[in-house]
Amino acid sequence: MASRIYADRKIVIVTTFVVIGFIYLLRLAYIQLIDRSYTLSANNNVLRYVTQFPARGLLYDRNGKLIVYNEAVYDLMVTPSQVKNLDTAELCRLLDIDKNGFIERLKKAREYSWSSPYAFEKQISKETYGYIEEKLYRFQGFFVQPRTLRKYPQSIGAHILGYIGEVTQKQVEKDVYYKQGDYIGISGIERSYEKELRGIKGMKIRMVDVFNRDVGSFENGRYDTAAVMGNDLYTGLDAELQAYGEKLMQNKRGSIVAIEPSTGEILCFLSSPSYDPNLLVGRIRGKNFELLNEDPVKPLLNRAISGTYPPGSTFKMANDLIALQEGDLTTATRYSCQGPSSSPIKCTHNHQTPLDVFTAIQQSCNPFHWQVFRSIMNDPDYSSVKARYDMWRNHLISMGFGRSLESDLPYEVKGSLPSSNFFDKIYGAGHWNAMTIRSLAIGQGEITVTPLQLVNYAAMAGNRGWFYPPHIVKAIGSEKNKVDYSHKKNVITIDPQFVDVVRKGMEEVVEEGTARGIKIDSISIAGKTGTADNPRGKPHSVFIGYAPVDHPKIAICVIVENAGFGATWAAPIASLMIEKYIRRKITRTNIEENMLNVNLLNN
């Protein structure tokens, strides 16, 4: 009996081992003949994983003109664990680096990863790559990885187009898409639309022989993935108008911003002094960035969206709108700019008096607008100056002042529109009034605005009281794939009938008023000049306007820093831009010549 039990156990044990052995044989056959994933893992030491970087999306202007495209470059990659029998002197000669430079780079590569590729030499040109490619087989552990860099055919729009650069460690940790050495949009459109522009990375697995030579794809590309190019962007920018504006603003500090009122699309967006965007591309970017950053004229500063200025006399119409809405001003109201009425703010123009609101806008009368502001701050419908000020401020916020306009450009600043609490802290609650803050009557004092806010203000007037957020991109992927801004329409707190009053005054500014010198035959322009006091030098020359008057195609703001009267510099430049956009040519060549030849940088 015992022997029989022993025999049965022996059969069970042997059978178990046979079955297990058979299972292992089947699994081994499956791995070797069917499932190649283990082969892939085992062959890591003879396979090269090459990231396929997608080309960034292209950028087009409103007329279909290509304004940003890509150019091929190459990164020389190194995998430290594969570096053997290296001819250091020859590699240094090819790359034009010294031995110390080579040692330092290889050290960084090893610190990054012993077994992962590291960019040993970045952004090699097509010409240099040709020389390296012929001798690459001699440098085991090194290979070339294709990349693309931005190229700007017209060298315009540096501040609005932006530039790209390497990701920071913080960005790598925040977004798994990025790896050390990747590029990312840093400013302008490149930053705002990074996710749309960057595309999707791919991967190729290549087989490499013992001589570092590529001998073909692994498994016929079974495990490869293709890169997907980023989306093209179609902008509202008019490249020809942009180039002309940059030409006019040479040797001047300031900004020009123009938009299409009916859509909010940005037609022109420039800050001056500017720079060639090609300077911040490729291997020269670091050196050029330092030079630009140290330049005393501050070409990297985006004055159009980050620069803040007193609005000066262009702001007077905002006070008129509020007073008309609140019943503190009518078209029949007359104020004198002589005698006691001229104090505490003097009149700077010689004109008829007393004036109505139309003539006051036309002649930019300071005493008139001081009286308007005082009437708002003394409005009997409100219980205190604090309540009146809050009412005034809320109207201005609806017009786009003191807040973000929610544009699609980065680093938009809000300007300054202090709350009533601000004045309570300075003067004490109940201890301030219209006289205390009188500078606000003429766009001076505590209020500051950006050129983007001013052009939006002009577009609002052209639209009779509404605006879309100013934006640069109109379609993504294809021209038919429009970005919908209809749900972002802003309607101000002023009735359109009162906006019409201001519109008529702006028309008279160009017909008979302070900007009468910029009239253009057959193009009606409404506008307002401004001379914004500046504590650090001469006043800034300011002009805002739109044209044609009945159906505006363009609204514009021009600021020329430290240039004096708005009618002298900003208004003529604005009129040239309007003529260029609507007619596509300039007929008033004498004005053009004056604007092009003057140098105001030393003012």
SS (H, E, C) 385-437: HHHHHHHHHHHHHHCCCCCCCCCCCCCCCCCECCCHHHHHHHHCCCCCCCCCC
The strand pair at 540-547 and 164-166 is best described as unpaired
DSSP conformation class of 325 = H
- What pLDDT shows up at residue 34? 55
Mean per-residue pLDDT, 188-205: 94
Cβ 183 vs Cβ 163: under 8 Å: no
Q: How confident is the model at residue 10 (pLDDT cuts 50, 70, 90)?
A: low
- Distance between CA atoms of 105 and 119, rounded to whole angstroms? 9
Mean per-residue pLDDT, 254-261: 98
- What pLDDT shows up at residue 438? 94
- What pLDDT shows up at residue 243? 98
**How many CB atoms sit inside 10 A of residue 291's CB?**
13
Residue 164, CA atoms < 13 Å, CB-side half-sphere: 23
Q: How confident is the model at residue 1 (pLDDT cuts 50, 70, 90)?
A: low
47-231 and 239-597 agree in CATH topology: no
Task: Please report, for residues 402, 440, 443, 452, the alpha-carbon distance to residue 534 in angstroms, rounded to integers and kept in the order given.
Answer: 20, 15, 12, 19
Contacts of 86 (CB under 8 A, 6+ apart): 139, 140, 141
Mean per-residue pLDDT, 556-583: 96
**Taking Cα atoms as reference points, which of 560, 108, 500, 91 lies closest to residue 312?**
560
Domain range summary for the chain, segments of one domain joined by +: 2-35, 47-231, 239-597
Q: How confident is the model at residue 210 (pLDDT cuts 50, 70, 90)?
A: low
Residue type, 567: A
- What pLDDT shows up at residue 198? 95
Q: Decide if pLDDT at 520 tops 80.
A: yes
Task: Please report, for residues 344, 560, 599, the alpha-carbon distance to residue 563 in angstroms, rounded to integers and kept in the order given.
Answer: 26, 6, 10
- Distance between CA atoms of 11 and 5, rounded to whole angstroms? 10
* 47-80 pLDDT, tens digit each: 778 888 899 999 999 999 999 999 988 888 888 8
Six-digit token string for 207: 């087989």
Q: How confident is the model at residue 23 (pLDDT cuts 50, 70, 90)?
A: confident
- What pLDDT shows up at residue 381? 95
DSSP conformation class of 355 = B
Helix (H, G, I), strand (E, B) or coil at 21: helix
The strand pair at 59-60 and 233-235 is best described as parallel
Six-digit token string for 354: 């007393």
Six-digit token string for 428: 């004490």
Contacts of 26 (CB under 8 A, 6+ apart): none
Q: Decide if pLDDT at 6 tops 80.
A: no
Q: How much is the pTM?
A: 0.87
Cβ 183 vs Cβ 55: under 8 Å: no
- Distance between CA atoms of 442 and 334, rounded to whole angstroms? 18
Helix (H, G, I), strand (E, B) or coil at 476: strand
DSSP conformation class of 181 = T
Task: Please report, for residues 1, 8, 13, 301, 325, the alpha-carbon distance to residue 4 in angstroms, rounded to integers and kept in the order given.
Answer: 5, 6, 14, 96, 112
CA 202 to chain centre: 28
Contacts of 275 (CB under 8 A, 6+ apart): 158, 292, 299, 300
* 321-356 pLDDT, tens digit each: 999 999 999 999 999 887 565 667 777 777 788 999
Six-digit token string for 505: 């005054």
- What pLDDT shows up at residue 499? 98
Q: Which one of 71-85, 105-119, 178-192 scores highest in mean pLDDT?
A: 178-192
- What pLDDT shows up at residue 12? 62
DSSP conformation class of 207 = E
**What does pLDDT average to over the chain?**
90
Query: Between 165 and 137, where is the model more confident?
Result: 165
Q: How confident is the model at residue 217 (pLDDT cuts 50, 70, 90)?
A: confident
Q: Decide if pLDDT at 296 tops 50.
A: yes
Helix (H, G, I), strand (E, B) or coil at 509: helix
CATH of region 47-231: 3.90.1310.10
- Give the DSSP H/E element, type plus range, for residue 541: strand 540-547
- Distance between CA atoms of 217 and 208, rounded to whole angstroms? 9
DSSP bridge partners of 140: 84
- What pLDDT shows up at residue 134? 81
**How many CB atoms sit inside 10 A of residue 369's CB?**
26
- What pLDDT shows up at residue 42? 47
Cβ 178 vs Cβ 196: under 8 Å: no
* 401-453 pLDDT, tens digit each: 999 999 999 999 999 999 999 999 999 998 999 999 999 999 999 999 999 99
Q: How many residues does the chain have?
A: 603
- Distance between CA atoms of 45 and 223, rounded to whole angstroms? 17
- What pLDDT shows up at residue 342? 61
- Distance between CA atoms of 543 and 528, rounded to whole angstroms? 6
Query: Between 212 and 309, where is the model more confident?
Result: 309
Cβ 147 vs Cβ 181: under 8 Å: no
- Distance between CA atoms of 449 and 532, rounded to whole angstroms? 11
Sign of the CA dihedral with 100 first, then 101, 106, and 110 last: positive
Domain 239-597: which topology? Answer: Beta-lactamase (3.40.710)
DSSP conformation class of 468 = P
DSSP-assigned letters across all residues of 331-348 = TT--B-SSGGGG-SS---
Given the structure tokens 């790209």, which residue do they identify?
A: 164
Q: How confident is the model at residue 40 (pLDDT cuts 50, 70, 90)?
A: very low
Q: Decide if pLDDT at 38 tops 60.
A: no
